[in-house]
Amino acid sequence: MKKEEEALPLLRQVCDELNSESWFSTQSVAWGLFAYMKYAELVSPNSTGDAAFRVTYNGQGYEEKALPGKLITRSLKADVPGKLVAENLSDKPLYFNLVRKGTPLISDQSAAENGLSLRVDYTDTGLKPVDHRSLVQGTDFMMVTKVTNTSFDRLDNIALTQMLPSGWEILNTRMFETSYGIEESAYDYRDIRDDRVNTYFSLNRGESKTFVIILNAAYKGEYNQPAIVCEAMYTPDCRSRIPGTRVVVTGQ
């Protein structure tokens, strides 16, 4: 409809919603991004000439001009806490993107449980308990995870996210037939990657399911094991978290 002034407040509302802590379906996010794209297509042809902007961090920064369609990348040293300000000094639409790099913090160390109960046991291939925090290089072991629906309703679209230390390797048992005496529960979908296993399933009220990952302590060193998280994707109040920890793989 080419009504830029009327569209901009609506676009800001869409952006605020997408940036909020609210939960959206994939379709909702897609339509929000589609609306943003259509607005960008509307204003871009009208953007002729230079556009001036200013970027400051803790009061220090620079001013610069940007040509239409030009991407400008600048580095700011942010080794101390402070305030970053980006200002558009012209009447041309500009888009700022902040990319931060650094050493990640250790994952959330707090436990949480509401509507879902999560228990993780570590055993060797003979089902004897092992201390996963200290393993000898080359050891095969299992992560046995039990999830129970402790809410009052059936829960669909549950996501179990198990990120693993970089010193462990996942043995993808789907590539070969192996049985270690534990029967794994059925799931809707499983995504096995280099550093994590994402499992998706549903649970009736009071129902439990058990999932097994076969692992190998592959590389010597000390690593951070991220928290294990299970949550109902569209019922964010129902979730459970087991804190992360430090693990060690020692030499043989």
Indicate the average pLDDT of the chain: 85
Q: Is residue 105 part of a domain?
A: no
The pLDDT assigned to 73 comes to 78
End-of-domain residue from the set 56, 88, 120: 88
- For 174, left (φ over 0), alpha (ψ -120 to 50), or beta? alpha
Residue 61 or 119, more confident? 119
The pLDDT assigned to 243 comes to 92
Q: Is residue 49 part of a domain?
A: yes
Q: Is the pTM of this model over 0.75?
A: no
User: Are residues 126 and 240 both part of a single domain?
Assistant: yes
Range of the domain at 71: 4-88
User: Are residues 116 and 231 both part of a single domain?
Assistant: yes
User: Are residues 222 and 129 both part of a single domain?
Assistant: yes
Please give the DSSP secondary-structure letter assigned to residue 31. H
User: Are residues 18 and 64 both part of a single domain?
Assistant: yes
**How many structural domains does the chain have?**
2
User: Are residues 71 and 157 both part of a single domain?
Assistant: no
Residues 199, 209 contacting (CB under 8 angstroms): no
Q: Which of 23-32, 61-70, 179-188, 242-251 is modeled with the greatest confidence?
A: 242-251
Q: What percent of the chain has pLDDT over 90?
A: 46
Helix H or strand E encompassing 40: helix 26-43
The pLDDT assigned to 211 comes to 95
The pLDDT assigned to 87 comes to 86
User: Are residues 39 and 144 both part of a single domain?
Assistant: no
Q: Is residue 99 part of a domain?
A: no
Q: Which residues in 90-127 are b (16+ Cβ under 10 Å) and which e?
A: eebbeeeeeeeeeeeeebeeeebeebbebeeeebeeee
Instruction: Return the CATH number at 118.
Output: 2.60.40.690
User: Are residues 62 and 168 both part of a single domain?
Assistant: no
User: Are residues 82 and 117 both part of a single domain?
Assistant: no
**pLDDT beyond 60 at 177:** no
pLDDT band at 196 (very low <50, low <70, confident <90, very high): very high
